Amino acid sequence: MTILRDAGSPPHDSANTHVTGASEFIDDRSMLKGELHCGVIYSPFAHARVRRLDTSLACQVPGVVGVVTARDVVHNVWGTIFQDQPILVETEAQYVGEVVVVVGAETKEALVKGIAAVEIEWERLEDIRSIDEAVAKGSFIGHERTISCGDAQAAMLEAPCKISGTLVIEGAEHFYLESQAVVVYPKEDGQLEVHSSTQHPTEVQHVVAKACGLRFSDVVCVAKRLGGGFGGKESQAAPIAAYAALMAKKTGRPCRLVLTKDDDMIITGKRNPFQITYECGCDRAGRIVALDAMLYSDGGAYADLSTSIMERALLHCDNAYSIPNARLRGRVCRTNFHPHTAFRGFGGPKGVALIESIMEDIAHTTGRDALDVRMLNCYGPGHDMTPYGQKVENNCLPALFGKLEATSEYRKRRDSIRAWNSDRSLNPDAHVRGLSLTAVKFGISFTTRFLNQANAMVNVHVDGTVQVSTGAVEMGQGVNGRIACIVAEQFGISLESVRIMATSTEKNANTSPTAASVGTDLNGAAAKVACIKVKRRLAALAIRLKTIPPEFWATKTAGLGTRPEIDVGDGVDVDGDAHHRVVFHHGVVTVTHRDGSEFQIGFAQLVRDAHLNRIAVSAYGHFSIPELQFDKVKGQGRAFLYFTQGVAASEVELDRWTGEVKVRRVDMLMDLGRPINHGLDMGQVIGGFVQGMGWMTTEHLYYNNDGLLVSHSPSTYKIPNVQDTPRIFNADLIFNEGNVVNLERTKASGEPPLLLAISVWTAIRDAITSARSLHTADSSQPIVPIAIPATPERVLRALSPENFEAAENVQ
Amino acid sequence: MRDYALVHVNGVRHEVRGREALMMLADWLRREAGLTGTKTVCSEGDCGSCTVLRAMPQPGCTTDFLEAPPLEFEAVNSCIATVAQMDGSHIVTVEGMQCGAELSPAQEAMKTCHASQCGYCTPGFVMAMSAMLERHNGIAQPIGPQLAANYLTGNLCRCTGYVTILEAALAVKATKQHSVARRYSNPAAVQAGIAAAEQSLLIEHDGVCVCAPVTVREACSFAATHPGFRVLGAATDLGVQINKGKPLPRAILSLHLIPDLYEMKQTRNRWRVGARVSLATIRRMCEESSPELSRFLNLFASPQIKNVATLVGNVANASPIGDTLPFLLISDGQVHVASRPGGKGPLRQRTIAMTDLYTGYKTLALEPGEIITHVSFANPEAKEMVRLSKVSMRKDLDISAVSAAFSCTLQKRGRSRKPPVIESARIAYGGVAATPIRLPEIEEALEGEVTAEKIESLANRIADRVKPLSDVRGSAAYRRVLAANLFRRFGAEVLLA
């Protein structure tokens, strides 16, 4: 195992309290006197009408203090994009897990009894539980979206080779370790203080306020840290918070709702399942001339973020490859499943899986190596226009392909795998290996323009330490550490002098969710704006102090009132004025005059003097990403500020007896610009990959015939284990200082690495194709399609369909 | 008779009574003891976030506390064990790891290696890694990647991809001074625990009683007088069901104070394993006499589970996918039961063959009031070939879709190039019927000369013969193919032998 790492990069800002167990999560907060434990009752049916709901017995259970139903909700509808989802079921439940009743009790024991005492009579209704069914019945959310360029249909007719197929991509569970959790404290005059495990405190604030009939100014939402989010707490934390808030409002007591892992998995939505039919035309060399694809996603019962997720899927069907003629259409299906939602990648992986799968198909059809096909189609000079009309600038893809081809020894390993697969003396068990190298080009920015803004508050204290508040939520990704680093560098002080405070809507209002990988890009930039405001004033003061003997500084005289105040207005430029250069470094502010004379003052001393001169040393910064111009109606324009790019090569071995998959080796190479903290970024790179690897292989959502998720806990839903981490895992970054458009020339690292795990799935496909062609000695047979995830059962079925046929025919 | 469970937490003595004694340890730590560093995520022993260190001193343990501290700390899950079950234990939580302001070696390594992101799984990993250091502290054997991974198999992380956690496990530097055993082996506390263990325990609350007698005889009396009683061993299954809403059984019998039941003895090539012997102990003890079982136990469950779960528990749970059951079925497994009809008089003991034990889905051929005290099994003969396998969605720490045990004795072939000849064979499967099963007709047909054709035809017969269900772990067709393929794999090995 070798990882390139800058050993000097500081650990996570909470590392110390994480390892000692002192980090406080929602459910670690002490119970207050009178605080209630809340629990929920949800629909056991995918679609059913509430015929009778009786909570009277529950209210009589000793210890039960409150029962909340739809009747208690002032404004019983919410939704991030479309307002289509009730907070509590009124008459009809649309999925298993849709919450109908909230019970609040003084003890957990009473809560269990109270929940058992609620009586609900259900009348089952017809439901829709597949994409096919939804399409047949015309059950959709939103309109069909299209992104197109050139003339795909005409070009397809001319194409010498054509490939078509259907790709099934199932959903996945976020499996954040900390389940959805919230505590609500009622405050004076009807106000509520909400502590929520949410990626989007502003939305929680708004949804809670509306549900309770309060004004936004009556509700504060605080998110200190999350035990993982991955998109699952972007929108879906809001109704959970509303349940506890409604109970707090009704009972006047503090209320805590912490879902069990089972309930969390049953209630909350997942990554949207997709079903994609496609046709791709290419020339005999394997160069794509046209792509026509219809993407259907399963949105579940309510819109949630599914339409935006579909948009991002469509915007990523090109991935690293130039497609001159494309027609990409997408439609979200309304079904009777939990409303599916954001999950790391946000639709992007579906588009990427499609085109990477097509690359394998083309390789098979043309008889070329899949890497050659990919490099042939890769964006490069002269063919750098995406189907949505944004030029691919600062493009590292060809360099990444070339470099990883060499460092992963792709060609050599391709030969040795071929030999190993066919030579029983090397491989007595006749297992089968596969290799695949795929790419990612992930668009960075929210595709919804107004979300690309952030605000930050920087408070400099008179001892020279700094507190920073932004809208960014820390969920393990290290956004706090990165922002702290930016602020420390701005003021030229140590990292220890900067503390990032809990995210709260009373300090930062109207914030965007911490999502789309842009938490640091946006909030770090806003913090920098605030820092600069303070620095300009401090720089001006330092220049003035240079000319004043220290015994006349405000620290000596302010109390006596003997000296006039220094007024600096909005200050000077951060690096000085026409005559002076000002540098903030190592806790010291240095002013150098053009004549060579120099003056130094400690940062803390300067701040103290600023304060005594009544100069503001706190500031608020607002930042918005410039230049975005994407027309959603036309599907054209600059959707992204820049692209994060990378490549990965994965080698797998399939057990021909059981279908079990082992990932033997992974080589990753990414362009993350100029990282702020190498260690944190590598954590995103490797962690994202392994998370994606689970989705590609063992994470299987299994629903029964009632539409209930049966794999609703880690005993049945298998995320990767320490033993699954590839033994040889080489992850590296290229050096790229060219991303001038973004904060500190960095690049976002949260989502993109997950998409590189698609190489595991394409490697499995490669292995299956090798096995089948060895088996039949017929290389012209079509590629065996395999769904995502490629579970052991699916792999074994693909390796030996005849055995399955026989087994299915046993009486 | 004691009415409290005695536990030491981070060196502090607690007598836990009534309602609190029936709480799961993790809940008790978090809600009653205020130690919220220990996290609960799955409440089913599958994620390791609730991992704590636990030691239970044995009667007659050493008194040379400094040279050989009597407490041997192991990782256990605190979410699926009641405090009552932890009676007599010394528990160390993440809060007990620091020495003053100094981080413990595992904490320091996790911090500097970027091995903690969101932090929710971190305390569990710190404790699992500390358990590794406890066992390997001062031992010359270096900790390699595989060994480290084996100690961390019971912990899930969703952020890091484990690479940095493994790096931390390999980078960690521990000295004797950091040993948790040394720090927490307080002579008075250990002696107090041993003394308390000589007294039976009876905890009653809200219509539930937990009884832990000190002899098998007393245990059988309790069983006879409390119809519907349940024996609570490690509760790695029952504890999960309780967490998920099943009420506590009214009468709970715990055998943890009966010293005899901690014994594992080998006589005339048979192991006799007491009801309190953990799977971890069996794995260590069987390394030489039954290496295939020992190897198989590495795949099976997590260290946290294996440190408490017992072979008798696996047998008594009677799951069709109990992972040790196919092995016991082919190894002349026998179940030793005891009872005391009417609760008085002499102990009645009898032996049931594993092949006769299961009468239907999760039903045992036990009389009311009978408890299983031991399980015994034969070691494989020198010339016997034994293969145990399980197939699951994920290779490690997963419940089997299908498990299988094969054994055969091959005739000596010398230099002959003729096909191998099987003298006797035994075949057992889990996950293909309502109970684990033997396949006598296939065993019989396998005897004699073995050819590739014969293997293939018997594999097809197996696929036809088994009657699996479709469920979350796989379709019926997949299970049929797996049953046949595991046999094919075994057959291929026989042909090469």
Residues of A marked active site are found at 751
pLDDT value, residue B173: 81
pLDDT value, residue A424: 85
Q: Where are the beta strands (DSSP E) in B431-489?
A: 437-438, 448-449
CB atoms within 10 A of CB A575: 13
| Substitution target from A177, A198, A262, A711 for chain B, most B beta carbons within 10 A | A177
> For residues B392 and B389, what is the distance between their CA atoms, to the nearest angstrom?
10
Q: Which residues of B touch A808 (CB under 8 A)?
A: 477
Alpha helix ranges (H) inside A277-347:
306-314
Cα–Cα distances in angstroms (integers) from residue A545 to residues A552, A573, A587, A600, in the given order: 9, 16, 17, 10
Query: What is the tens place of the pLDDT at every residue in B441-493?
Result: 999 999 999 999 999 999 999 999 999 999 999 999 999 999 999 999 999 99
Nearest to A714 among B46, B106, B114 (CB): B46
> For residues B378 and B271, what is the distance between their CA atoms, to the nearest angstrom?
6
Q: Which residues of B touch A225 (CB under 8 A)?
A: 118-119
φ and ψ at B292, to 5 degrees? -65, -40
Query: B159: distance to nearest CA of chain A, Å?
Result: 5
Nearest to B397 among A700, A721, A796 (CB): A721
Query: What is the tens place of the pLDDT at every residue in A519-531?
Result: 999 999 999 999 9
Q: CA end-to-end span of chain A, whole Å? A: 50
Q: How many contacts, defined by CB atoms under 8 Å, are there between A and B?
A: 255
Least confident residue range of A359-363, A394-398, B127-131, B141-145: B141-145
Would you say residue A4 has pLDDT above 80? no
pLDDT value, residue A3: 35
Query: What is the tens place of the pLDDT at every residue in A792-809?
Result: 999 999 999 999 999 999
Nearest to A262 among B119, B244, B392 (CB): B244
Query: A804: distance to nearest CA of chain B, Å?
Result: 6
The DSSP annotation for A357-368 comes to HHHHHHHHHHT-
Contact indicator for A445, A630 with CB cutoff of 8 Å: no
How crowded is the C-beta side of A113, counted as CA atoms within 13 Å?
14
Query: What is the tens place of the pLDDT at every residue in B255-300?
Result: 999 999 999 999 999 999 999 999 999 999 999 999 999 999 988 8
> For residues B290 and B388, what is the distance between their CA atoms, to the nearest angstrom?
11
Average pLDDT, chain A: 96
Contact indicator for A612, A529 with CB cutoff of 8 Å: no
| Backbone torsion region of residue B345, taken as left when φ is above 0, otherwise alpha when ψ lies between -120 and 50, otherwise beta | left
Query: B438: distance to nearest CA of chain A, Å?
Result: 20
Tell me the whole-structure pTM to 2 decimals: 0.97
Higher pLDDT, A502 or A564: A502
Q: Which amino acid type is present at position A348?
A: G
Would you say residue A613 has pLDDT above 60? yes
Query: What is the tens place of the pLDDT at every residue in A250-259?
Result: 999 999 999 9
Average pLDDT, chain B: 94
> For residues B248 and B239, what is the distance between their CA atoms, to the nearest angstrom?
9
pLDDT value, residue B140: 55
Q: How is chain B split into domains, by residue range?
A: 4-194, 207-380, 383-497
Contact indicator for B239, B196 with CB cutoff of 8 Å: no
Would you say residue A203 has pLDDT above 80? yes
Q: Which residues of A touch B394 (CB under 8 A)?
A: 698, 718, 720-721, 724
Q: Where are the beta strands (DSSP E) in A603-684?
A: 618-624, 629-631, 636-638, 642-654, 661-671
Q: Which residues of B touch A27 (CB under 8 A)?
A: 30, 36
Answer yes or no: do B36 and A16 touch at CB < 8 A. no
Q: Which residues of B touch A3 (CB under 8 A)?
A: 163, 167
Q: Where are the beta strands (DSSP E) in A25-77?
A: 36-42, 48-54, 64-68
Would you say residue A2 has pLDDT above 50? no
Using 50, 70 and 90 to split pLDDT, how confident is the model at B62?
low
My answer on whether omega of the bond before A720 falls inside 30° of 0, hence cis, is no
Cα–Cα distances in angstroms (integers) from residue B236 to residues A186, B75, B239, in the given order: 40, 14, 6
pLDDT value, residue A775: 57
Using 50, 70 and 90 to split pLDDT, how confident is the model at B105?
very high
Nearest to A436 by CA among A761, A796, A790: A761
Nearest to B289 by CA among B405, B375, B384, B379: B379
Nearest to B116 among A15, A28, A715 (CB): A15
| Backbone torsion region of residue A50, taken as left when φ is above 0, otherwise alpha when ψ lies between -120 and 50, otherwise beta | beta
pLDDT value, residue B412: 79
Query: What is the tens place of the pLDDT at every residue in A443-463?
Result: 999 999 999 999 999 999 999
Least confident residue range of B86-100, B405-419, B446-460: B405-419
pLDDT value, residue B59: 65
Q: Determine the CATH number of domain B207-380.
A: 3.30.465.10
pLDDT value, residue A6: 47
ipTM over 0.85: yes
Task: Kindly state the average pLDDT of the residues A747-767.
Answer: 98
Query: What is the tens place of the pLDDT at every residue in B384-394?
Result: 999 999 999 99
Cα–Cα distances in angstroms (integers) from residue A631 to residues A150, A384, A414, A448, A639, in the given order: 18, 20, 44, 10, 8
pLDDT value, residue A776: 56
- Look up residue A496 and give its DSSP letter: G
Would you say residue B415 has pLDDT above 50? yes
| Substitution target from A722, A729, A797 for chain B, most B beta carbons within 10 A | A722
Q: Which amino acid type is present at position A356?
A: E
Task: Kindly state the average pLDDT of the residues A402-424.
Answer: 96
Contact indicator for B23, B82 with CB cutoff of 8 Å: yes
Task: Kindly state the average pLDDT of the residues B243-247.
Answer: 91
CB within 8 A of B169, min separation 6: which ones?
Answer: B109, B129, B132, B143, B148, B151, B152
pLDDT value, residue A810: 85
Q: Where are the beta strands (DSSP E) in A299-389?
A: 325-333
Nearest to A721 among B95, B396, B463 (CB): B396
Tell me whether strands A219-223 and A192-196 are parallel, antiparallel or unpaired: parallel
Percent share of chain B, pLDDT over 70: 97
Instruction: Work out the angle between the directed axes of helices A519-546 and A479-491 (0-180°, nearest 10).
Output: 20
Q: Which residues of B touch A792 (CB under 8 A)?
A: 391, 393
Q: Topology of domain B383-497, per CATH?
A: Enolase-like; domain 1 (3.30.390)
Q: Topology of domain B4-194, per CATH?
A: Ubiquitin-like (UB roll) (3.10.20)
Task: Kindly state the average pLDDT of the residues A383-399.
Answer: 97
Answer yes or no: do A711 and B155 touch at CB < 8 A. no
Would you say residue A5 has pLDDT above 60? no
Answer yes or no: do A20 and B97 touch at CB < 8 A. yes
pLDDT value, residue A811: 73
Answer yes or no: do B485 and A796 touch at CB < 8 A. yes
Buried b (16+ CB within 10 A) or exposed e, A358-378: bbbbbbbbbeebbbebbbbbb
Answer yes or no: do B123 and A690 touch at CB < 8 A. no
> For residues A678 and B54, what is the distance between their CA atoms, to the nearest angstrom?
37
> For residues B374 and B394, what is the distance between their CA atoms, to the nearest angstrom?
31
Would you say residue B177 has pLDDT above 90? no
pLDDT value, residue A646: 98
Least confident residue range of B25-39, B63-77, B195-209: B63-77
Answer yes or no: do B41 and A177 touch at CB < 8 A. yes
Query: B49: distance to nearest CA of chain A, Å?
Result: 8
Would you say residue A1 has pLDDT above 60? no
